Structure formats: structure tokens, C-alpha cells
């Protein structure tokens, strides 16, 4: 099969011929149709400090995907050949305390597809049956199916706290931040503001349903708060950027008792005014991945019951390229000015 690999400990990928993966007794083998390019993939391609610390080569990266099941292991019970699926990229042990308590997203032995084991930037990928999410809704296109993983990040983050009637601040208008706008609007938030420095991404945020977009290079959040006529500050914060300045300014603009969900991974230590966190009784909650599998049920149900949300999430995909043009796809994703970039593996 054709596969995009990280051949060794250096920057770059190579598109090569590689043996097809073999399915174990409890696995399913999937013919990959589409894959999304994630920030994690950019780290692996660039071979930055995070990648050097976490990646063993050779590796097939890629964890956002949609495809068709072509083979099932002898002990597979529910997934069938011909099923169209997305994949939960976190493979858990099933026996640690959190797994046994039904909190599999907190497994202490998590192995990530495309990070610790070969992933989906290839014509075929193998995952456990339990990680395959079968799409019965024919409205799920291969492009939309490929971004269920990051859509799940957005849903998990946005639904961490009740949003109905609340004023929401989202920092970072990348693809997940954009999807979080649409989710917050669907759920019933009152006012939604989102920050970024990319004019094109902020324009996309308006289409998602944001009441106000804030170019933080030109405007401070306290001014945005005044324009929205928020007397006491934002109720809910969704931090998607990982930037120190974003978190600090978010904390400064929360109402007393405000709640913040943190998805963005910082690349540096962040100095926080902990006195304000204490005296303003703020709640900060870390978010990683998706709840397994409550988030998957929630996002599937929301897309089935809301045409507006379905159109908004589909609209986050701004670029679909043949997998053969993967280099152009990665360059577009790295520019950080558009939405989600999807590679089509039927065109390789």
C-alpha cells in the first residue's frame, strides 16, 4: 500500500510503498478514504521538541480518518465488512481504575493511533473493533467523517459546563475553536465571542455563529466585553490556543464563579494570577480528547437533528486535496489561516 511515513528522527515525511497492516482477532482493517491534518501531525512532520520526546520512528502518522471496513478479526462481534467508520484514536487498556470505572478517556496506559502506533496516513489502517465508530447516517460524507476526531474535541470542551443562556469566550479560532462556536450556538449560549489574529479565520467564525470576533492584535478583551454589554464578564471560557497571553486575558475577563475548559496545549510555562483564580472562585478544567464514547453519541445525535449544525461543521473544511498532494496540504495547514485540511486517499 501507499503510506506517508516518518522514516527517521528528522524533519519531513516520505510517501512510500509499505506492507498492508494485518488485523488481529479483535481488530478491524479499514480502507482509508479521507484523513484530516491535525496540529499533532504538523509537530511530527516538523520534528520539534515535542515530537522528539514522544515519537519513535519509523511511524505512519495520522489519526483523523474515515473509511470502509474491509476485514474483521475472528472475535469481532458488531462491526461488519462494508461499514463506513471513523476511528477513536485513543486505544485504552481496559483494566486500569479509570477504564474499569467507565472513564476510558482517562486511561493511564493510552496508546494513540498515529503517535505511538501506525496511523491513517495510508491506504489501510488497523484499529480495535471497540475504537471504530460506525456511521449509519448517510448524510456523513467522507470529508465530514474524517473530522469527527477534532469535532469530538470541540464537543467535549464545549459541553464540559452547561452553556444554555451563558456568555461564552473562545480563545483561538483554529478548526476546533470554530467548531466550538457552532456547538455553543446549537446548545443555546447567549453571547459568543472568539479571538484570533487571522482575519480569514475570524470571518469563518462569524459564519459559525459568533456574535463577536476579536482580533487580539487590535483589541483587548475588556473592550470586546463592553461592546457585548456584559456587565460582569464571561460565564464560560473555552481556551483552544495554548497561548499564555490568551489564558491570562481570559482569566481577567471572567465573571466571579466563571468556568474555563482548557484544550489548547501550551508550548511554554504559563504564569497565572492564582490570587484572582482563588478570590474570583474560578474553575479551570483540563480537557483531553473525547469522552469514550459519550462524546461520539452526542456529536452524532447533534448532526442528525440539526441541519444548521451539520452545515456549520461541514463548512469548517476549507481544503480537500488528493493524498498525492500531501505536501501542499501540509503547507496549507501550517499557514494557519483557513479551516480544516482533508486529504483524499482515493486519489493517491
Q: What is the CATH number of the domain that holds 175?
A: 3.40.50.720
Catalytic residue (choose from 35, 43, 130, 171): 43
CA 6, CA 15: separation in Å to the nearest integer?
Answer: 9
Residue 193: is its pLDDT beyond 90? yes
Active site residue 40: yes
Instruction: State whether 37 and 110 are in the same domain.
Output: yes
Give residue 132's pLDDT: 98
The pLDDT-based confidence of 43 (bands split at 50, 70, 90) is very high
Residue 259: is its pLDDT beyond 80? yes
pTM of the model: 0.95
Instruction: List, in sequence order, every residue forming a beta bridge with 125; answer none if it has no partner.
Output: 30
Instruction: State whether 70 and 187 are in the same domain.
Output: no
The pLDDT-based confidence of 266 (bands split at 50, 70, 90) is confident
**Does 295 reside within a domain?**
no
- What is the average pLDDT score of the chain? 96
Instruction: State whether 232 and 270 are in the same domain.
Output: yes
Cβ neighbors of 132 (< 8 A, separation 6 or more) are 28, 30, 69, 79, 83, 85, 86, 87, 88
Average pLDDT (98-115) is: 96
Say which CATH number the domain at 65 has: 3.90.180.10
Catalytic residue (choose from 35, 40, 72, 130): 40
Residue 21: is its pLDDT beyond 80? yes
The pLDDT-based confidence of 136 (bands split at 50, 70, 90) is confident
Question: Residue 171 sits in which domain range?
Answer: 153-286
Residue 267: is its pLDDT beyond 80? no
pLDDT tens readout for residues 268-288: 889 999 999 999 999 999 999
**Does 92 reside within a domain?**
yes
Give residue 185's pLDDT: 97
C-alpha cell at 128: 480495535
Instruction: List, in sequence order, every residue forming a beta bridge with 171; answer none if it has no partner.
Output: 195, 239
Amino acid at each position: 500500500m501507499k503510506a506517508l511515513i516518518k522514516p527517521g528522527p528528522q524533519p519531513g515525511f516520505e510517501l512510500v510503498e509499505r506492507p498492508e497492516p494485518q488485523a488481529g482477532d479483535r481488530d478491524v482493517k479499514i480502507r482509508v478514504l479521507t484523513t484530516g491534518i491535525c496540529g499533532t501531525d504538523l509537530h511530527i512532520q516538523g520534528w520539534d521538541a515535542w515530537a522528539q520526546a514522544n515519537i519513535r520512528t519509523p511511524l505512519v502518522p495520522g489519526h483523523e480518518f474515515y473509511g470502509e471496513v474491509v476485514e474483521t478479526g475472528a472475535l469481532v462481534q458488531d462491526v461488519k465488512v462494508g461499514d463506513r467508520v471513523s476511528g477513536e484514536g485513543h486505544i485504552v487498556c481496559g483494566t486500569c481504575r479509570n477504564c474499569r470505572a467507565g472513564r476510558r478517556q482517562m486511561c493511564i496506559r493510552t496508546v494513540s493511533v498515529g503517535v505511538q502506533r501506525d496511523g491513517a496516513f495510508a491506504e489501510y489502517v488497523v484499529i480495535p473493533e471497540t475504537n471504530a465508530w460506525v456511521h449509519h447516517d448517510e448524510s456523513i460524507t467522507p470529508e465530514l467523517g474524517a473530522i469527527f476526531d477534532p469535532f469530538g474535541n470541540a464537543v467535549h470542551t464545549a459541553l464540559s459546563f452547561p452553556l444554555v443562556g451563558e456568555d461564552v469566550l473562545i480563545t483561538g479560532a483554529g478548526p476546533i475553536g470554530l467548531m466550538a462556536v457552532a456547538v455553543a450556538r446549537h446548545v443555546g449560549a447567549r453571547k459568543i465571542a472568539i479571538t484570533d489574529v487571522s482575519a480569514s479565520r475570524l470571518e469563518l467564525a462569524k459564519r459559525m455563529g459568533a456574535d463577536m470576533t476579536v482580533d487580539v492584535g487590535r483589541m483587548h478583551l475588556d473592550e470586546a466585553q463592553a461592546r457585548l454589554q456584559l456587565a460582569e464578564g464571561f460565564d464560560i471560557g473555552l481556551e483552544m490556543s495554548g497561548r499564555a497571553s490568551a489564558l491570562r486575558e481570559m482569566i481577567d475577563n471572567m465573571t466571579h464563579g466563571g468556568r474555563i475548559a482548557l484544550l489548547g496545549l501550551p508550548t511554554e510555562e504559563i504564569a497565572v494570577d492564582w490570587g484572582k483564580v482563588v478570590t474570583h472562585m474560578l474553575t479551570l478544567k483540563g480537557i483531553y480528547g473525547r469522552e469514550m464514547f459519550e462524546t461520539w453519541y452526542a456529536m452524532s445525535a447533534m448532526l442528525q437533528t440539526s441541519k444548521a449544525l451539520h452545515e456549520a461543521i461541514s463548512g469548517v473544511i476549507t481544503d480537500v486535496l488528493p493524498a498525492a498532494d500531501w505536501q501542499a496540504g501540509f503547507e496549507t495547514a501550517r499557514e494557519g489561516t483557513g479551516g480544516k485540511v482533508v486529504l483524499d486517499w482515493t486519489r493517491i
